[in-house]
Amino acid sequence: MSENIKWGMVIDVSKCIACHACTASCRIENKLSTDQNRSWVIETEVGAYPNVHVLKVAQLCNHCEKTPCVEACPVAATGKNEEGIVFVDKEKCIGCYACVEACPYGARIKDQEAKKVDKCDFCAHRLENGLLPVCISTCTTQARYFGDLNDPNSLVSKLLKENKYEVLLPEKELEPNVYYIGIEEYKNFGK
């Protein structure tokens, strides 16, 4: 690992089978209700009949470099820590949901009952104990990878060096730290 860790994720969409193990295990690990998702999978058809493929794109907070969500909070209840994790301090959160509106990825959950916001924190409690985020550990096809983006020898850095990659909503220019590989082969699917 590098001296200045920057946690990030690489997701290989060509491997994802939309089994939703990541979504389910995240809910259990983080004690979410069945209508709350810190991690979810979107399925989109690409191509045209009879050459159709269902692209599965697993999503979560991108732990962006630029954080309109953090800037929107009126009580400094959300921030980005020194390892790049965008977190919510629930003690401070007043449930105004300004951050929810500010995130273009829909990555923040309104917990209406608790009047708080919830979101992915890369399973910070597991990282502290030397474990991977639970979505990484439970992915049935090993389509997700996690590690230190500042370490050139980490698996995530090597994957980004060796593969073409994309981020979601690049036009927002928030510099996400969740990257997608394996998309290229589906770009012109069925054409």
Given the rule CB under 6 A, which residues bind ligand SF4? Answer: 61-64, 67-69, 72-73, 75, 77-78, 86, 88, 93-99, 103, 105, 107-108, 117, 119, 174
User: Closest separation between CB of residue 105 and ligand SF4, Å?
Assistant: 4
Instruction: Provide the minimum distance between the beta carbon of 51 and ligand SF4 in the complex, in angstroms, as a whole number.
Output: 33
Least Å from the CB of residue 107 to ligand SF4:
4
Q: Which is nearer to ligand SF4, 16 or 60 (CB)?
A: 60
Min dist CB 161 to ligand SF4, Å, is: 24
Q: Which is nearer to ligand SF4, 47 or 83 (CB)?
A: 83
User: Among 134, 9, 160, 182, which Cα is nearest to 84's?
Assistant: 9
Nearer to ligand SF4 by Cβ, of 47 and 95: the residue is 95
Cis peptide before 152 (omega within 30 of 0): no
| Cβ burial 74-108 (10 Å sphere, 16+ → b, else e) | eeebbebeebbbbbbeeeebeeebbbbebbebebb
